[in-house]
Amino acid sequence: MRTPLIAGNWKMNGSAALINDFGSAFADVSLPAALDVVLIPPFPYLDAARQAFRNTPLALGAQTLNPIESGAHTGEVSGRMLKEFEVSYVLAGHSERRELYRESDEQVFDRLLAALDNGLTPILCVGESLAERDAEKTMDVVLRQVGYAMTRLAPEQRQAVVIAYEPVWAIGTGRTATPEQAQDVMAGIRAYLAEFSAALAEQMRLLYGGSMNAKNAAELLAQPDIDGGLVGGASLKTDDFYAICQSAG
């Protein structure tokens, strides 16, 4: 059985007060026994979150990393630095990084590899635009993004990756892929992974990201190939995020 994973990506949002709110809200909660939960705040809040999330079920994630360990790269953060602050997960290739900052498949792979080299669990984000979906190119786009990474990793490295499918047209728009649409893509990803090995396809966690919220989480998470969620706006509200976590039980 794959352990469900709920990851809350705060993007460029949040505050020190919100960090403390989550630390207090999750200090004494009842969550499903087999569930991993991670919050992914902006870099400036990582140390405060490390302190506030102790004695809670919340693990800590980062939104990106630079593949270079150190040097003259103003504004960048390395995997070694993240590890020092007890970060466990890191996003690689979120659609906003791909679109707004022009990260290529090659650059996304370099970040994913740096995460693995530093003992971090990378969440590889893949997904199609509305134009690509309308042109019926969803699986071509998604499997190209998945394949670029998977074909370049060693078998033991592949096993450490989490994949998040995020239809770009559903991020921050209030639109959500239907459970059936999401499941079709997840099933396609899992079938592709089976070309590497049946064990890889069976054990890899696949998350849905794209306006998951407290109202639609249960239906999405009930799909056989959806193992959790990469949650955006709803992860900024303690009650909503807790409700989504409950839905994963």
- Output the six-digit token pair for 210: 């794209």
- Output the six-digit token pair for 52: 């506030």
Summarize pLDDT for 63-119 with one digit per residue, the tens: 999 999 999 999 999 999 999 999 999 999 999 999 999 999 999 999 999 999 999
Do 58 and 26 touch, CB atoms closer than 8 A?
yes
**Residues 230-236, mean pLDDT to the nearest whole number:** 97
The distance between the two most distant Cα atoms of the chain, rounded to a whole number of Å, is 48
**Please, is 33 exposed, middle or buried when counting C-beta atoms within 10 Å of its C-beta (0-12, 13-18, 19+)?**
exposed
DSSP labels, 25-83: HTTT----SS-EEEEE--GGGHHHHHHHTTTSSEEEEES--BSSSSSS-TT--BHHHHH
Closest CA to 182 of 166, 198, 171: 166
Q: Which residues are catalytic?
A: 94, 166
Closest CA to 207 of 232, 233, 240: 232
Nearest-Å Rg of the Cα atoms of the chain is 17
Answer yes or no: pTM beyond 0.95.
Answer: yes
